[in-house]
Chains A and B, each alone.
Chain A
Amino acid sequence: MDAYTSSELISIFAMQGFSGISLFSVLLLMALGLAIIFGQMGVINMAHGEFMTVGAYTTYFMATLTETYLPSFMPYYFVFAIIMAFIVAGILGYLVEFAFIRHLYKRPLDTLLATWGLSLIMQQSFRSLFGAREVSPTLPEWLLGSYQPTETIYIPINGMFVLGLTTVITIGTYYLMFKSRWGLRVRATTQNRAMSGAVGINTKKVDRYTFALGCGIAGIAGAAFTTIASTGPTTGTLYIVDTFMVVVFGGAMSLFGTIASAFSIAQTQSILEFFISGSMAKVYTLFALVLILMFKPEGLFASKVRR
């Protein structure tokens, strides 16, 4: 620690903090989708990382398409790519729910196995379709470069864009889940499926759209992911455990908890990474999480619900 002056330390914290914010954004987007699927529906979706990868590959596909046929459209394609990523991942999620998740609501541990099987199939599909090599889309010019508030601090623009996107999606999800009629139906179904059915909520439809929404948000996470790293067939698996930790640590029923836990996990890891090796940073972060969860198994901000 003595080797750094205090102004250097501040710069390090600021820059690592911002690189942590990119990680935070992707983790939060992933975790939002998972919090809806796992927290609200109780389904352990091990293929969630693969839905993120679907979003990332969709973005890559859109970029390649635009580059070949409509080069003048390049500065704007990214917005459409995000929407497409949401739609493609969402439709896939809808189909998956229809095909087998709906039969497994009473057996949560079995959804874990079935979706793990699904994730294997999806990974191999990515490999067959896009090749085993990692790909990254050509990003529009305005996403590249960095903003420099002082001499020693560089803040990448893509990180800020992803943060903005995450904010919008988070607020949108909040309104959808807690302020709209539809969110009310979702929460009612989670709390008491039989009663919700009795008062006229089509619970099967609610389940299907909730699952699709969760997967769609994972797709957006994938689109955001392409701006900070390249995508390979197994990218999703790298994030799935971290994402689960975010959701569990935050308390499965709480949106605010999810945000707070994504932020603390991403920042701890990113700032530690500067001082010790990346792998040890991950070990310490996860180890601290496990320890905290041993003492506080319900997570940071658990709403008082009987399980």
Chain B
Amino acid sequence: MSFVYDKIMGGKKGLTGLIILATLILIIFPLLLDSFRLNLVGKYLTYAFAAVSLVLLWGHGGILSLGQGIFFGLGGYAMAMFLKLEASSPENTTIQSTPGIPDFMDWNQLTELPWFWEPFSSLTFTVLAVLIIPAAFAYIIGSAMFKRRVGGVYFAIITQVIAVILTVLIVGQQGVTGGINGITDLRTLHGWDITSDSAKTILYFINCGLLLTVILASRFILTSKFGRILLAVRDKEDRVRFSGYDVANFKIFIFCFAAMISAIGGAMFTLQVGFMSPSFVGIVPSIEMVIFAAVGGRMSLIGAVYGTLLINFGKTAFSESFPEMWLFLVGGLFIAVVMLFPNGLAGLWNDHGHHITKKFAFIAKIFSKSAPQIFEKKVEDAR
């Protein structure tokens, strides 16, 4: 038990944080928000997967990837391809010149399904693809870069370029990818209507469950010996190398794991929002994911979730009322986070949180003081 408590829950502090987060997303949001807003929160929480992956990669590994959108997109597209194939069954697409292929392919004069779409008609394959393709892709990038000791700034720039390549490729190959509009009109998962309110609520809870699981798994990695070495690599890579560790393998592993987490987020995004498009793959979304992690606190897994929620709530609120102010605000926030509080919300809480907990401490005190008195009084009364 103590193993689970220390290593996975993260001790008393980690457990409290996790319980508060779980209460918020599993109980408070579903009770307070209508189904439209809840679906919106669900969408934000899928970005949180990418933010959590950046906490592992950037906060603890010192590897800044500006390409988490790649993996988010790969996961999302894999899921979208499966749903699209189901949506374009020959019965649904009889008006097309070639029934049975997705509508955008028909518009682009394709007459047969491309070979790499074929396996996505199986759900098992799709789920495996969501988990394995992004991780395998990350392995290729990671082993090419880290084995040659490319890191830091160069790694950031190269991941960014790969994100650009993928976006341009998706937009350019309209016939097989759906182009700039992405893959739209996704309705059912094995006949289950995912656009209905009840399905969206169920997907929201699945999403929350997966997010909490991912946080637990990440915490397990970080509290293990692996996590310690990762931190050491971040701070003094050469010393770790001279101590006999193969630094590159540690970096490759965490990069693959981060890719897998982001891809799960992408797949859940497609399920909850009902489409996937290249605007979630490129530079801008990838850097936004870094902001989520930075605002939440680059060292804190749970902070990343709050950062994601905060920024996205802000974005929605501002773009409804003052769209012009939003870019100024988020730009300023970026600079402020980097300059003034590099550890983000989680850092602020760690530095100043005890003032707040102190204010509420009197509640605990009343209970702890009055409880014995009441008890003693009762005992006296009984005499």
Cβ–Cβ < 8 Å partners of A283 in chain B:
165, 168-169, 172
Q: Is A109 an interface residue (CB 8 A)?
A: yes
Contact check, B152 vs A108: say whether CB atoms are below 8 A apart. yes
Q: Is B150 an interface residue (CB 8 A)?
A: yes
Interface centre among A280, A282, A294 (most CB of B within 10 A): A294
Interface residues of B in 319-333 (CB under 8 A from A): 324, 327-328, 330-333
Q: Is A161 an interface residue (CB 8 A)?
A: no
Query: Chain A's nearest CB lies how many Å from the CB of B288?
Result: 10
Contact check, A109 vs B161: say whether CB atoms are below 8 A apart. no
Smallest Cβ-Cβ distance to B336: which chain A residue: A117
Query: Chain B's nearest CB lies how many Å from the CB of A205?
Result: 22
Bound Cα distance from A275 to B342, whole angstroms? 48
Smallest Cβ-Cβ distance to B333: which chain A residue: A117
Smallest Cβ-Cβ distance to A117: which chain B residue: B334
Interface residues of B in 248-275 (CB under 8 A from A): none
Q: Is B283 an interface residue (CB 8 A)?
A: yes
Interface centre among B152, B324, B338 (most CB of A within 10 A): B338
Smallest Cβ-Cβ distance to A116: which chain B residue: B287
Cβ–Cβ < 8 Å partners of A118 in chain B:
331, 334-335
Bound Cα distance from A193 to B168, whole angstroms? 41
Q: Is A73 an interface residue (CB 8 A)?
A: no
Partner of A116, one of B324, B332, B334: B334
Cβ–Cβ < 8 Å partners of B333 in chain A:
117
Bound Cα distance from A289 to B150, whole angstroms? 15
Once A44-B156, A289-B161, A297-B148 are accepted as A-B contacts, the answer to whether A112 and B64 lie under 8 Å apart by CB is yes
**How many of chain A's residues have a CB under 8 angstroms from any CB in B?**
40
Once A100-B339, A286-B165, A290-B158 are accepted as A-B contacts, the answer to whether A117 and B331 lie under 8 Å apart by CB is yes
Query: Chain A's nearest CB lies how many Å from the CB of B104?
Result: 16
Q: Is B162 an interface residue (CB 8 A)?
A: yes
Q: Is A68 an interface residue (CB 8 A)?
A: no
Smallest Cβ-Cβ distance to B58: which chain A residue: A109
Interface residues of A in 149-174 (CB under 8 A from B): none
Contact check, A294 vs B169: say whether CB atoms are below 8 A apart. no
Partner of B164, one of A119, A120, A241: A241
Bound Cα distance from A125 to B31, whole angstroms? 40
Q: Is B144 an interface residue (CB 8 A)?
A: yes
Cβ–Cβ < 8 Å partners of A280 in chain B:
172
Bound Cα distance from A283 to B332, whole angstroms? 33
Once A124-B324, A286-B164 are accepted as A-B contacts, the answer to whether A117 and B156 lie under 8 Å apart by CB is no
Cβ contacts B141-185/A at 8 Å (1 or 0 each): 000110011101110111011101100110110000000000000
Interface centre among B158, B171, B342 (most CB of A within 10 A): B158
Cβ contacts B295-334/A at 8 Å (1 or 0 each): 0000000000000000000000000000010011011111
Contact check, B334 vs A120: say whether CB atoms are below 8 A apart. yes
Cβ–Cβ < 8 Å partners of A103 in chain B:
339
Contact check, B331 vs A294: say whether CB atoms are below 8 A apart. no
Pick 29 A–B contacts, CB within 8 A, sort by A.
A42-B153, A103-B339, A107-B342, A109-B58, A109-B156, A110-B342, A112-B66, A117-B334, A118-B335, A120-B327, A120-B331, A121-B331, A124-B324, A124-B327, A124-B331, A127-B324, A237-B283, A244-B161, A248-B154, A248-B157, A279-B168, A279-B171, A279-B172, A283-B165, A286-B168, A290-B161, A290-B165, A297-B150, A297-B154
What are the 3 A-B residue pairs with the smallest beta carbon separation, nearest first?
A117-B334, A279-B172, A120-B331
